[in-house]
Structure 1
Amino acid sequence: MNGDTLIDTLEEAGLSPYQADAFVTLLELGSASATDVAQASSVPDPRIYDVLRGLEEKGYIETYEQDSLHARAHDPADVLEDLRSQANRFENAAEEIEDRWNRPDIEEHAVSIVKRFDTVLTRADELIRTAENQVQIGLTPAQYTELADALEVAHNDGVNVKICFIPPSDTLADVPSTDLLERTCIEARRRDLPAPFVALVDRSWTCFAPHGESTNQYGVIVNDRSLAYVVHWYFLSCLWEVHEPIYSARSDEPPITYVDLRQCLRDVEPLLESGITIDATIYGYETNTGRKITRRGQLTDVEYVGQSATGGERTTLLHLAGQASITLETDEGEFTVGGWGAMIEDIEAIRITIDALE
């Protein structure tokens, strides 16, 4: 750092221009009379005495009499400590400004708009690690690498994790190995066209960002069940239903677990038509009280407002876009069970387990 830059820096630290110039001059001279300091610096002769006394009060120098007023630079330990303390304050202030600019206080807003994708990815990582029931996520292989540890934590905690891989641009990218997928999800699929990053966690949180080639770069973090439900249908229709699995750990033998009632309905409908007895456990909430409950019994019926499939065809997602429910017969009576956002059924199912097929 040259002398001029050092003077500018000392001015930013709180010295006046004359004080900064005089102090740097004294550092070079070691010890000198006030007159010599004025001649070697830009400080005018009439001002030199006030400038030196001001530096002495700040602890930068000490003055003494020797025929005339002399000065020498003080032991720099205190000065250096003060400068480093100020540097730390500036650094901390810079980090705080950046954090407040990038990520508003998410806990106080249902919808937060952020300007950097890193903020969306960081929040998705936090939410996935604390998920309790399900994660649906569409992301590129590179983004998967960033979130793989969090997805593994959720998967090990028994969370139902579904992953759809999307290419980063107009070209396909390699997906992770089967060993990695086995550690991080229950099922994975791949879309051949670019799509936004989206992560849904426990039917409440949504993290969204446009794909990398989009003109507009921003992120949205939503803590709202209604908006999450809309994104859930985007995930089902655009990232899931139309693509074949590239990995699946689902079993056709009980116990079989579902976190989506409509997927359960599609699988049990042909079983009921074949006369198979289906023992099941429903985990969810009473729609009239919001109380968390568990019900065990037999699935006896399915109902949906869409047209039924014919000719042995499997019921599609289109058939189930409206109201859809299943009926559970228990020792306490008969209960209707709906899916995400159920209102007219007795139970909103969070998780359905097929315990036995007879």
Structure 2
Amino acid sequence: MNISEDIIKEMSKFGLTRYESQAYLVLLIKGVCSSKEVIESVGIPQPRIYDTMMGLERKGFIEIKEGRPRKFRAIDPETVFKKIQEDQELIVKQLQNLYKKEYVYYESPVWTVYGSQNMINKIRQMIRETEYELLLAVPEELIGKIKGDLKKAEERNVFISTVLYNHAKTYPDLRNVWIFDREVPAMIIVLKDRDQGFACPYKFLKGEGRVIDERYGILIENKELLHILSDFFLNTIWKTSRRILEELDVRSKSFVHIAIAIHEYKKLEKEGYNVRAKVMGKRTGDNMPIEIEGNIKGVEESSIIHRIVIETKDKQITVGGWDSTKEDIEMEIITLYPTKDDRL
């Protein structure tokens, strides 16, 4: 019997095997048949005929009349496919109910980096990808492994401030990089712009550069945790370290931490520079993005407040740092433009 391949393919969409489709079509055309007649019509192998007919009966396509021989009859296609449609509608309804449920998925805010070399590779990657500001607190042993990356970051005009632990004897030969020394080591920290932070135990490196491979570090990309790590770096490590090298750099620089920007502004002001600034951030009142440009007229700094006052063409605007509420703008990036022009 010649049966259209297109029909067989279409019927497979309803869960029928090729043999089941062939057998059902035979019964539609010939009416009541025995298994032998089905085999003779479409060539279904004898060992497969029982499973084929039982499958059709189980799926609701045929009826079986017991006897010798057993007889099979096709159920009206309209009845069959109406039942299939009802079943499909029921399944869709059940799935839709699942789809409408609001599941909350929590993605870990912290990634773990295992192995000394992987940690060094991650630090180097962060340095290479830094766009504005790079803050580090590292042992002297690590500098040799990342010096080339620091040099390239410096050439990209990235601001770099490095705290070296435990009375470092050598310092990276880099221009325009702030270098501090801290007698008591804390954890190793690398802060890339305002989007990534890395931290691991100080004993990540030990002795003559011997690396302890069982150590691991954490990579943070969550804003709230980055804020905590940044505060720890600035208030516990950076502000308690001794300045070794802090040359005046009169190129324009961009900063993401307001405490660092204020520190740079004070240096420039002390040397007689006026400073113009461009700020990108958001208004604290409604969180809408904003960009302003003007002259810095003053700063306010304490253990809990960091504020810059900028005079634009028509008014003075206060700029704060991370999660500011009292200032007009929460700063995300500030660029300082030093000048000796007294007209500012």
Write the distance in 1 (CA, Å) between the matches of 2:278 and 2:330: 9
What residue number does 2:319 align with? 337
Write the distance in 2 (CA, Å) between the matches of 1:292 and 1:156: 29
Write the distance in 1 (CA, Å) between the matches of 2:200 and 2:190: 10
Compute the displacement of 1:301 (Å). 4.4
Write the distance in 2 (CA, Å) between the matches of 1:134 and 1:209: 20
Q: Matches of residues 39-188 of structure 1 in structure 2 within 5 Å?
A: 109-167=108-166, 172-177=167-172, 180-182=173-175, 186-188=177-179
Rg larger for: 2
Q: What's the CA shift string for 1:253-295, capped at 9, x where partnerless?
A: 68677654335546768999x9x994421232123455362x3
Letter in 2 for 1:355: P
Identify if the C-alpha distance between structure 1 residues 285 and 123 changes in structure 2 by more than 3 Å, giving closer, same or farther.
same
Write the distance in 2 (CA, Å) between the matches of 1:264 and 1:132: 15
Write the distance in 2 (CA, Å) between the matches of 1:199 and 1:338: 23
SS at match of 1:212: helix
Identify if the C-alpha distance between structure 1 residues 140 and 301 changes in structure 2 by more than 3 Å, giving closer, same or farther.
closer
Matched, 1:324 2:306: yes
SS at match of 2:184: coil
Compute the displacement of 1:128 (Å). 1.2
Matched, 1:207 2:198: yes
What residue number does 2:183 align with? 192
SS at match of 2:203: coil
CA contact (8 A) 2:137 2:162 kept: yes
What residue number does 1:285 align with? 281
SS at match of 1:241: helix
Identify if the C-alpha distance between structure 1 residues 191 and 324 changes in structure 2 by more than 3 Å, giving closer, same or farther.
closer
Q: Matches of residues 337-356 of structure 1 in structure 2 within 5 Å?
A: 337-349=319-331, 350-356=333-339
Compute the displacement of 1:156 (Å). 1.1
Write the distance in 2 (CA, Å) between the matches of 1:250 and 1:162: 13
Q: What's the CA shift string for 1:285-330, capped at 9, x where partnerless?
A: 123455362x3323334446xxxxxxxxxxxxxxx23233222121
Identify if the C-alpha distance between structure 1 residues 268 and 113 changes in structure 2 by more than 3 Å, giving closer, same or farther.
closer
Write the distance in 1 (CA, Å) between the matches of 2:125 and 2:268: 40
Letter in 1 for 2:305: Q
Write the distance in 1 (CA, Å) between the matches of 2:262 and 2:337: 11
Find the partner of 1:262 among 259, 274, 278.
259
CA contact (8 A) 1:327 1:334 kept: yes
Write the distance in 1 (CA, Å) between the matches of 2:239 and 2:248: 16
**Structure 2 segments unaligned to the other structure (5+ residues):** 1-106, 207-211
CA contact (8 A) 1:261 1:352 kept: no
Find the partner of 1:296 among 286, 293, 297.
293
Write the distance in 1 (CA, Å) between the matches of 2:158 and 2:123: 15
Letter in 2 for 1:202: D
Letter in 2 for 1:286: K
Compute the displacement of 1:165 (Å). 0.8
Provide the alpha-carbon RMSD of the alignment.
3.4
Identify if the C-alpha distance between structure 1 residues 217 and 241 changes in structure 2 by more than 3 Å, giving closer, same or farther.
same
Write the distance in 1 (CA, Å) between the matches of 2:251 and 2:129: 27
Q: What's the CA shift string for 1:64-109, capped at 9, x where partnerless?
A: xxxxxxxxxxxxxxxxxxxxxxxxxxxxxxxxxxxxxxxxxxxx74
Compute the displacement of 1:203 (Å). 1.7
Write the distance in 2 (CA, Å) between the matches of 1:283 and 1:150: 28
Write the distance in 2 (CA, Å) between the matches of 1:271 and 1:134: 18
Matched, 1:231 2:229: yes
CA contact (8 A) 1:165 1:175 kept: no
Write the distance in 1 (CA, Å) between the matches of 2:264 and 2:329: 19
Q: What's the CA shift string for 1:184-220, capped at 9, x where partnerless?
A: x621011122322110111221111101179993211
State the TM-score, normalized to the length of structure 1.
Answer: 0.54
SS at match of 1:136: strand
Letter in 2 for 1:285: G
CA contact (8 A) 2:133 2:254 kept: no
